[in-house]
Structure 1
Amino acid sequence: MQQSIPRSILLSEAVSGIEEAPTVALLGARQVGKTTLARQVAEAWPGQSTVFDLEVPAVREALSQTPEILLRNSEGLVVIDEVQRLPALFQVLRPVCDDPNRKAVFLLLGSASWDLIQGISETLAGRILFVDVGGFSLAEVGSEHQDRLWIRGGFPRAWLARSTAAWKRWMQSFSRTFLERDIPGLGSKVSPEALGRFWRMLAHYHGQTWNAAELGRSMDVSATAVNHYRDLLAGTFMIRVLPPWFENLGKRMVKSPKVYLRDSGILHFLLGIEDMAELAMHPRYGASWEGFALEQTLLAHGQDQAYFYATQRGAELDLLLLRRGKRWGFEFKCTDAPRTTKSMRIVIDDLGLEHLWVIYPGDLEYPLAQDITALPLKKIGDLAL
């Protein structure tokens, strides 16, 4: 098994970004490959490059004491890793980016979304481009490794682990570090034990409509508390909160979001699943496929303007993408031979879908109806939306 996976599309996006804007941010979960990608950007950069790793206390102290001097006098490519650890930098970066004599461009690496970073009084709106860095995609690892990617997830070290035991050890270390160091590093006062319990519980609710009251009762905490836990995990890219699509159709519609663990490997680790045989026998088998196929679809076609659709009477669409003024629908079915359903016909009519694809684990692409196609997940990147 090769020990590195080229990520040429992400590299191209990052390199193009720093040619177009004074600041580019690589955003994604910890250990997802941002630092490796930044190193490759620096290697492709024609001039000098400087790296500030805010995980290093001395570096963090230096930038916190004299940030304007260091950044204003910098030249070439300046990489700032784990930027969420020093939110005050954003106040300094704005005037630096606006300086007509600026000699540097900035590449920021963050493991938390801007919404979670406290104390930012200035923004970089109009001065920054974002590159979302997810786990490995099927296009990157190769379709022949679909099951391995599904069971292990897309974190590089998890996917490349030499054995199932090594994968499990990495997952144990990652989850412990995330709860005990990363979350407190954001200034959160939530105890690691409470958030860990919520995370494990959420694995059993993977792919379901959010119900804060129900989860709060299960944990014996308030709905406000579980909403805060959810926001912490969403803001650190551990879960995806998929919003509902609703418009005035004269129907009673579901208006709560659906929640997924973004990485299938973390889902399986929290559920105690270690291989495909165990997964196939687990009650969350179908939900696991839905979340995995959803993430691969969003990696291939972008996560902007992505929704699910559901009515109170049971009609539902797993994923609705709005692209270039058209509506495209996706259903994710873990079956050998997908079939059309009454619900599919209803959502096509309700939403005016251009086409609906039923994404499944097989190999054959074939029409189910004039406007419905069964599509193997391995071909998801071939679609032109």
Structure 2
Amino acid sequence: MYQRYMAGPVKEALEDTSVILINGARQTGKSTFCQQLMEQGIFNGRFVTLDDATTLTAAQADPTGFLLDLGEQVIIDEIQRVPELFLPIKKLVDENRKTRRYILTGSADVIALPRMADSLAGRIEMHQLWPLSQTELRGSDPPFLKAVTDPDTPYQNRKINWEDTVRAIKTGGYPDAVLRTTETRRDRWFEAYLTAVLQKDIRELSNIEGLTQLPNILHLLATRAGSTVNFSDIARLAGIKNTTFQRYMALLEHVFLLVKIPAWTPNTEGQFVKSPKVLLNDTGLLCHLMGESAESLLSNRTTAGLFFENFVTLEILKQLSWSSLSLKAYHFSMHSGAEVDLVLEDRKKQLYGIEIKSKASVNAADFNGLKRLATLAGKKFQKGIVLYTGDQVTGFGEAFKAVPVGNLWQ
């Protein structure tokens, strides 16, 4: 069982917040995480899951009575199944905010449900549980984000094994997939997983006809993972209306299979790409959809580099989810070709650019996008780094460094 670093922020939230919502894709380990909170003494109360038919029926029949029977400290798993519970939770919390604590988990974005948004505003803190990060899998917690933002925290010379990294990309971070011992068994798991999410979970959220097109749409998005996406082009290739495609995209976001990274742009018009980048939430899932094996990636460094960029980006997003630094993630891209894979913005609107390269050596040209961003951002720009697969921290000017990617997880 892996230690989830989200436990720290959740423990802090329980001190002053009545309702904690833990969102995330199905099978990312939300139920196991909640059990760990109880085993570690972080949360003392009951655990119920609405995946259980009897419990589901009881919650639907009498939501208020159901909650009263459970007591003041309760974990309710898969809360999206009974949105009727939100208003009774609000009432009970307002009656006693000091001792009542609810931890809710959801495999769909319940904040998008109208009754949720209206009832628990100001009473709830939200956290997203991703598939396992490399730091969680390795039991490490290096201060990468602190080093990005704090000039007094140094980067370290770190060497990675490329073959091990590619196999980690192929495996991904879903706990059940990690436990499978062969690629064939993992691919079987991903196939069953996608069938369950696309045919069951999304159907429960939608009244759209023709959901049989979703696998094809997800595959089209997978081929463009890590890039800005022209939604009209994908809708045309899928043979559906643009409005229908937008609804499909929203559904895939609601079940956390897709991640959008918005564009950072200065206050000028015309020359900047404003479309978001789209990522799948796990590179193991991405490899499955693209039919890539570890061997095929190892034999083609260029293709592997595209998956590596997704892998590193997701690792940073996962670390942001439990970080206390309050950094927002963007990408930067210009129509002229200048781009930066990730732009982190702090509360003071200061910017930290991160470019990701799968190659083992870096040259001055690899910093061109970061330097263009620095020029446009002016005093807001603090630092630019190129994460690469070499092993030496190397300066390329006062604000720019090449940093071994091993700083992320070693």
Task: Judge same fold: TM > 0.5, yes or no.
Answer: yes
Residue 138 of structure 1 contacts residue 378 of structure 1 at CA under 8 Å; is this kept in 2?
no
Distance change >3 Å, CA 331–CA 140, structure 1 → 2: same
- Against the structure 1 CA distance between its residues 114 and 340, is the aligned structure 2 distance closer, same or farther, given a 3 Å change threshold? farther
Does the 8 Å CA contact 2:351/2:382 hold for their aligned counterparts? Answer: yes
In 2 relative to 1, CA 277–365 (structure 1 residues): closer, same or farther, beyond 3 Å? farther
1:78 and 1:333 map into 2 onto residues whose CA distance is 45
The alpha-carbon distance between structure 1 residues 276 and 296, as it changes in their structure 2 partners (threshold 3 A), is farther
The aligned counterpart of 2:233 is 214
Tell me, in whole angstroms, the C-alpha distance in 1 between the residues paired with 2:393 and 2:209: 47
Structure 1 stretch 16-25 or stretch 168-177: which is displaced more? 16-25
State how many pairs are aligned: 378
Amino acid at match of 1:5: Y
Residue 41 of structure 1 is matched in structure 2 by 37
Partner of 2:2: 5
Go from structure 1 to structure 2 and tell me whether the alpha carbon gap of 1:282 and 1:91 turns closer, same or farther (over 3 Å shift): farther
Secondary structure of 2:278 counterpart: strand
Does the 8 Å CA contact 2:205/2:251 hold for their aligned counterparts?
Answer: no
Separation of aligned partners in 2, 1:339 and 1:46:
48
The letter of the residue matching 1:177 is A
Which of 62, 66, 71 is the equivalent residue of 1:70? 66
The counterpart of 1:321, out of the listed 331, 339, 344, is 344
Aligned with 2:108: secondary structure? Answer: coil
Contact preservation (8 Å) 1:273, 1:279: no
- CA shift, 1:186, in A, is 2.0
- The answer to whether the aligner puts 1:61 opposite 2:80 as a matched pair is no
Query: Which residue in the other structure is 1:305 paired with?
Result: 328
Length-normalised TM-score, structure 2: 0.85
Q: How far apart are the structure 2 equivalents of 1:109 and 1:241?
A: 21
**Structure 1 residue 189: Cα displacement:** 2.7
Aligned pairs for 1:136-215 within 5 A: 136-142=132-138, 146-215=165-234
Q: Is the 1:138–1:146 contact (alpha carbons within 8 Å) kept by the matching residues of 2?
A: no
Q: 2:150 aligns to what?
A: none
| CA–CA separation in structure 2 for the residues paired with 1:279 and 1:191 | 38
The answer on 1:360 being equivalent to 2:388 is yes
Deviation readout 1:45-85 (Å, 9 max, x if unpaired): 47852222111221111001111122134324211111111
Letter in 2 for 1:97: V
Query: Is the alpha carbon distance of 1:357 and 1:272 closer, same or farther for their aligned partners in structure 2, counting shifts above 3 Å?
Result: same
- Which moved further from structure 2: 82-91 or 143-152? 143-152
Unaligned runs of 5+ in 2: 139-159
Asked if the contact 1:307/1:319 (under 8 Å) is kept, the reply is yes
Match 1:351 to one of 368, 377, 380 = 377
Please give the secondary structure, in 1, of the residue aligned with 2:73: strand
The alignment partner of 1:369 has SS state of coil
Per the TM alignment, residue 375 of structure 1 is displaced from its structure 2 partner at its CA by 1.5
Residues 94-144 of structure 1, C-alpha deviations (whole Å, 9 max, x = no match): 111111387531110111123543554633122111222111112112277
Compute the displacement of 1:291 (Å): 1.3
- Name the counterpart of 2:400: 372
Which of 1, 21, 27 matches 1:25? 21
The letter of the residue matching 1:83 is I
Aligned-CA RMSD value: 2.3
Name the amino acid aligned to 2:122: G
Output the CA distance in 2 between the equivalents of 1:164 and 1:290: 21
What is the aligned partner in structure 2 of residue 335 from structure 1? 359
Unmatched runs of 5 consecutive residues or more in structure 1: none
Q: CA deviation at 1:306?
A: 1.3
SS at match of 1:181: helix
* Cα pair distance change 1:225/1:53, threshold 3 Å: same
Indicate conservation of the 8 Å contact 1:96/1:102, yes or no.
Answer: no
SS at match of 1:354: strand
The two structures have a TM-score, normalised by structure 1, of 0.91
Contact 1:253 1:311 in 2 (8 A): yes
Does structure 1 retain, via aligned residues, the 8 Å contact 2:166–2:304?
Answer: no
Read off the aligned partner of 2:397 and give its amino acid letter: A
Q: Does 1:107 align with 2:98?
A: no
Cα offset, 1:283, TM superposition: 6.2
Tell which deviates more after alignment, 205-214 or 66-75: 66-75
Letter in 1 for 2:9: E
Q: Quick check: 358-367 or 103-112, which moved more?
A: 358-367
Out of 119, 126, 148, the residue aligned to residue 122 of structure 2 is 126
Secondary structure in structure 2 of the residue aligned to 1:373: strand
Residue 253 (structure 2) aligns with = 234
By how many angstroms is 1:308 displaced? 0.9
User: Contact 1:116/1:186 (CA < 8 Å) preserved in 2?
Assistant: no
Name the CA distance, whole Å, in 1 between partners of 2:372 and 2:98: 56
> Which residue number corresponds to residue 256 of structure 1?
275
| Separation in structure 1 between the aligned mates of residue 52 and residue 327 of structure 2, nearest angstrom | 34
What SS does the corresponding residue of 2:396 show, helix, strand or coil?
strand
The answer to whether the Cα contact below 8 Å between 2:396 and 2:402 also exists between their aligned partners in 1 is yes
Stretch deviating more after TM superposition (293-302 or 274-283): 274-283
Deviates more, 1:359-368 or 1:44-53: 44-53
AA aligned to 1:350 is L
Q: Which amino acid in structure 2 is aligned with residue 343 of structure 1?
A: G
Question: In structure 2, what is the Cα distance between the partners aligned to 1:102 and 1:74?
Answer: 17
